Amino acid sequence: MQAAIQQTMQELLSRVAIVLVAPKYPENVGAAARVAMNMGIARLIVVSDELPDRPRMAKMATHNASHLIDNLEHHQQLATALAPFACVVGTTARQGRQRRAVVEPAAMVTTVLPLLQNNQVALVFGPEDRGLTNQDLNLCTLFTTIPTLDFASLNLAQAVAIVTYELASGLRRHLEGPDADPWAPKQATSRELEEMYAHVGEMLCTVGFLREQDQDDGYWMRAVRQFLGRLGLRSREVRNIRGFCRQFLWYDRQRQRIGE
């Protein structure tokens, strides 16, 4: 029984990736790789202008996690790195008034677990000194924070350890429990959602609801992202929304031609 659970955990955790955005120190990437391996997560992605120094990463990863460094994925843009993921969890210490509810890791895990069977999940961590930007967080579908008393930030590897421990232990309880929740269906990927948001933003600008400069990161566009993000849209539903937007934009262009 335990062997079967262990195998299932490995299969499900293979759909999870740790995404490190602009890490300042290669040693922190290595330490995060070591933590990820201990928690059963073997996919590590770094988003930065240049790939961090490999020997410095490998030194902290140690021999046991060196294969994560060897197979590390590197991207220069976060949107590109997140394109295949349906569930994107952004870690943040900030809880602005205009941001969706931020929950602690244990509460976040209850939402993520049912998705693992049919979806890829990214756990995104920002730079050590400033965290994820609002633009980074726009790409996330969930937000989580690690509560502290006086000092707001944690070491990067410590943050990765806490979040991944909650995920791995929560998954084990999920598999061992008699009344485990059913698995959620496959959802739209980050790339599909971003293409949909672009169409929705263009349509809202056309009707005058948004200003063009607010199309990507204005208050109302963030509200639209938060509302649609809560729905757990599937690929077909995203295509339907984009089809409606395309038809509306086509009609508006036709109307303008007739007016000319």
Tens-digit pLDDT profile for residues 40-83: 999 999 999 999 999 999 999 999 899 999 999 999 999 999 99
The per-residue DSSP string of 91-129 comes to: E-S---TTS---B-HHHHHHHHGGGTTTS-EEEEE--TT
CB 7 within 8 A of CB 132: no
The per-residue DSSP string of 149-167 comes to: SS-----HHHHHHHHHHHH
pLDDT exceeds cutoff 80 at 215 = no
Please state, in angstroms and rounded to a whole number, the distance separating the CA atoms of residues 252 and 250.
5
How many helices and strands, by DSSP H and E, does the chain display? 11, 6
Q: What's the token pair of residue 246? A: 């395309």
Please state, in angstroms and rounded to a whole number, the distance separating the CA atoms of residues 100 and 176.
31
Q: What's the token pair of residue 35? A: 């933590």
Model confidence at 109, pLDDT cuts 50, 70, 90, reads: very high
Q: What's the token pair of residue 215? A: 């199309």
Which backbone phi and psi does 203 adopt, to 5 degrees?
-65, -45
One-letter amino acid at 131 equals G
CB 241 within 8 A of CB 199: yes
User: Per-residue pLDDT averaged across 127-152, rounded?
Assistant: 86
Radius of gyration of the CA atoms of the chain, in A: 20
Identify the three-state secondary structure at position 15: coil
Identify the three-state secondary structure at position 88: strand
Q: What's the token pair of residue 207? A: 């009707």
What is the pLDDT at residue 101?
Answer: 72
Please state, in angstroms and rounded to a whole number, the distance separating the CA atoms of residues 120 and 224.
23
Q: What's the token pair of residue 42? A: 């073997």
Q: Which domains are assigned to the chain?
A: 2-176 (3.40.1280.10), 190-259 (1.10.8.590)
Q: Which residues contact 236 (CB under 8 A, 6 or more apart)?
A: none
What is the pLDDT at residue 97?
Answer: 47
Torsion sign (Cα): 58, 61, 66, 67: negative
pLDDT digits (tens, 9 = 90+) for 171-193: 988 888 765 566 778 888 898 89
pLDDT digits (tens, 9 = 90+) for 142-158: 999 988 776 666 789 99
